[in-house]
Amino acid sequence: MSFTYEDVGATRETGFCPPGFHLLHVRTRIGEGERVFRRAADAVSTWEMHRAAGLGVETAADRAAPGVDVTLTLAGVIKAPCRVVWTVAEYRRAGWAYGTLTGHPECGEEAFVVERTGDGTVWLTVSAFSRAAKWYVRAGGPANRGFQTAYARRCGKVLRQLCEPENEY
């Protein structure tokens, strides 16, 4: 399968949005400290956050890595094939982005990055640029952007819960 858009990897650049696409940027405070950062980074990179947020995740890989294909499933019905386009694993920053493949209801890219700031606060940032690829997404219009924002907020809430001490693995 091939990517459904041209600017593959562009979510590395904060705020980038190609013409004709909609930009999403949602930042959620997860907690504080090294333990929270490590736990959040692991939950994001192993698909745990996505599964806990209610998505089905089909992939042969245990962790996100460039070139890994993953199909996300919503409500057991809507299949969204994607490919990881980049990852980051730094001292205070970890995450990855996927690009949409043929068959995905939207086209574009979405990134999930955990960051620990200088004061120790841990944040999840979900950023994306996207546009409709299927008729039912086009028919949904602005409601689909609302759904995408709600999902990004849900990711933050779920990740915060996963990082609570009683939910450690």
pLDDT for 47-85, tens place per residue?
999 999 999 999 999 999 999 999 999 878 899 999 999
Would you state the structure tokens that stand for residue 39, as one six-digit string?
């736990």
Name the pTM for this structure: 0.94
Would you state the structure tokens that stand for residue 70, as one six-digit string?
């993953």
Q: Quick: pLDDT tens for 138-166.
A: 888 888 888 889 999 999 999 999 998 76
Closest CA to 4 of 91, 82, 71, 66: 82
Q: How far is CA 146 from CA 7, 22, 28, 53, in A?
A: 23, 11, 17, 16
CB 125 within 8 A of CB 41: no
pLDDT, residue 14, reads: 80
Give residue 158's Cα distance to chain centre: 13
Domain ranges of the chain: 10-164
Q: Is the pLDDT of residue 168 over 70?
A: no
CATH of domain 10-164: 3.30.530.20
Q: Quick: pLDDT tens for 83-142.
A: 999 999 999 999 999 999 999 999 999 999 999 999 999 999 999 999 999 998 888 888
Beta-ladder partners of 51: none
